[in-house]
Amino acid sequence: MKKIIFILFAFISIATNAQDFHALVYFVDKPNVATSLANPQSILTQRSIDRKMRHNIAIDDRDVPMNQIYVAQIKSQPGISYKAQSKWFNCVHVVGTTTAIDALASLPFVSSIDYTDPTKSASVSNRDKFANMVTTPLVYGTARNQIEMIGLDDLHNTGNAGAGMLIAVTDSGFPNVDINTGFAQLRNNNGIKGTWDFVQRDNSIYEDNFHGSRVLSVMAGNDPNNFEGTAPDAGYYLFRTEEGAQETPAEMSYWVQAAERADSLGVDVINVSLGYLGFDNTAESLDYQDMNGVTSFISQGTNVAFEKGIIVVTSAGNSGNSTTHPYVASPADALGAFAIGSVTDTRAKSSFSSIGPTVDGRIRPDIAAQGSATASIDESGNLVTTSGTSFSAPMISGAMACLMQAFPNLTPQQIIDAVRASSDQSMLPDNLLGYGIPDFGAAQQTLSSVSFNTQDFNYYVKDKTLFFNTAQGENVTSFQLYNLQGQQVIKKATTQDGFIDLNQVSSGLYLFTIDQSDVTYKVVIR
């Protein structure tokens, strides 16, 4: 049965029926699912397939493309403005009046319609999405402080500067990256692997808001003898998902579509120097109760990206000075997000850096890096400093890619666990800086001294049941499930049936171990 989720008080509906709303329209099915899964090369790049195999991640129906005939029919409906589509969720994002959107329910291939909730309090004020960005002339050598602060120089000195890794940068535009001298090394090394503007649906990304160019420079910029990014040898996909001049729910759908593209291309890390809370139409805004890791569409997409084996590094947000909402914004609340706070060049918390916890009590941010006066290169090629968690995030995105280069067979969760453990508050994390400032050199040393079990172990969750299989001749005899606070949720002996009943476990992201293995596996329970 089709459902339309639209909670609205009667006295409001009369006044707003002619107003345009954002909605997600879900489809009933996908074409050729069995054929596509039997021939994964037809829907994913070989690199993406290899990454999933390396981390024992199943290729499933979420990887199968949508029915474009359905999409075309949606686009042709009167009063409907198409914005984006998501193969992971088998839906399209549209804008229109309630009358026009409700009419879509009569189409035989539409299973449900989910409106952006218009009953949210209008007290959530819209914010400057790129707040706390102050540009000043750069003193020679300032870039070294931010790199040495997180021990990344030690990792670079062992030859790990991101070679062979792919980073997707999702932002508001990348003006002059194609001609800026600060990216000459990146271009000369063929480091730009692909581009796309998901807002305008074209390839013109070297324009629009300067924000993305400066974010990219923190990772990929180079000024000989004066500046070096955190992952200068990595390859980059540049995706525009953000409209700098306005704030609407469609931007979350643009981002999900970009994340799906990144997954299909085999990307290792996605940098998200963006955050969503207040929208131009305040009735559609998110609030603190939505910061539970699973409500906003961009957080849902972040969770799937993490399930698919991608490390999603997000800005914690710049609302730390707010008296109404000093907390993280989506997708930093996502279960699968690695949220980054900001510190000054003296390792003190930046006043603007958003804090935790999430509404369900999880620690945020995860860790922190220098986001006050972060050395960067502007859109004209000048060495500058810029402030905001938008710039502490790429510090970590690049560093994570370097650590993944050093340990390509480890899972994203193992990499994240090592970075958390290396951080200076790892023994006593808080909701100001999370686990603290990491030491990537120490994380490398720790991982080099640990032996990981790489046996063939595959698993998946369906209907709150964990199904698994191991290498031939192996039996799983014990199972332990932990929440993200490290608390044991389940400990039980297993049977030879190959499954664990998780019906008594609340929805969320969990970690589990089997037998006496050192390997930690991640699992999302819905």
In this structure, which topology does domain 457-525 adopt according to CATH? Answer: Immunoglobulin-like (2.60.40)
CA distance 309 to 412: 6
Tokens of 329: 């914004």
Side-by-side strand order, sheet with 3-5? 3-5, 110-115, 21-27, 91-96, 81-86
Long-range contacts of 151-155 (CB under 8 A, 24+ apart): 151/422, 151/438, 151/439, 151/440, 151/441, 151/442, 151/443, 152/230, 152/398, 152/399, 152/402, 152/440, 152/441, 153/441, 154/440, 154/441, 154/444, 155/399, 155/402, 155/403, 155/406, 155/440, 155/441, 155/444
Written as one letter, the residue type at 57 is: I
- 425: which strand partners? none
Domains 136-449 and 457-525 equal at CATH topology level: no
- 408: which strand partners? none
User: What pLDDT is recorded for position 157?
Assistant: 87
| Bond before 438 cis per omega within 30 degrees | no
Give counts: helices (H), strands (E), the chain. Answer: 14, 24
Give residue for tokens 């969320």: 508
pTM flag (> 0.85) = no
* CATH number at 136-449: 3.40.50.200
DSSP H helical ranges for 121-210: 142-149, 152-156, 184-188
| Bond before 118 cis per omega within 30 degrees | no
Q: Residue 270: which of 228, 234, 305 has the closest Cα?
A: 305
User: What pLDDT is recorded for position 460?
Assistant: 66
Report, as residue numbers or ranges, the catalytic residues. Answer: 171, 211, 390
Cβ atoms of residues 276 and 315 within 8 Å:
no
C-alpha distances (whole Å) from 380 to each of 208, 384, 386 are 14, 10, 14
Three-state SS letters, 133-146: CCCEECCCCHHHHH
**With b meaning 16 or more CB within 10 Å and e meaning fewer, what string describes 176-199?**
bbeebebbebbeeeebbebbbbbb
First to last CA, the chain: 21
Domain range summary for the chain, segments of one domain joined by +: 3-115, 136-449, 457-525
Tokens of 377: 């290169």
Give residue for tokens 């952006």: 116
User: What pLDDT is recorded for position 17?
Assistant: 43
CA distance 95 to 115: 10
- 501: which strand partners? 465
Q: Residue 340: which of 400, 386, 296, 412 has the closest Cα?
A: 400
CA distance 59 to 48: 10
CA distance 428 to 68: 50
CA distance 520 to 293: 21
User: What pLDDT is recorded for position 376?
Assistant: 96
**With b meaning 16 or more CB within 10 Å and e meaning fewer, what string describes 429-445?**
bebbbbbbbbbbbbbbe
Can you list the positions of beta strands (E) in 277-331?
Answer: 311-315
Give the SS3 label for residue 314. strand
Per-residue pLDDT tens, the chain, 526 aa: give them.
343 333 332 323 333 345 889 999 999 999 999 999 999 999 999 999 999 988 889 899 999 999 999 999 999 999 999 999 999 999 999 999 999 999 999 999 999 999 986 544 333 333 445 544 444 433 336 789 999 999 999 998 888 999 999 999 999 999 999 999 999 999 999 999 999 999 999 999 998 899 999 999 999 999 988 999 999 999 999 999 998 788 999 999 999 999 999 999 999 999 999 999 999 999 999 999 999 999 999 999 999 999 999 999 999 999 999 999 999 999 999 999 999 999 999 999 999 999 999 999 999 999 999 999 999 999 999 999 999 999 999 999 999 999 999 999 899 999 999 999 999 999 999 999 999 999 999 999 988 876 555 445 566 666 678 777 654 445 666 788 887 666 788 887 665 556 788 888 887 777 778 765 656 676 767 6
C-alpha distances (whole Å) from 63 to each of 42, 257, 262 are 11, 12, 12
DSSP H helical ranges for 226-346: 250-264, 297-307
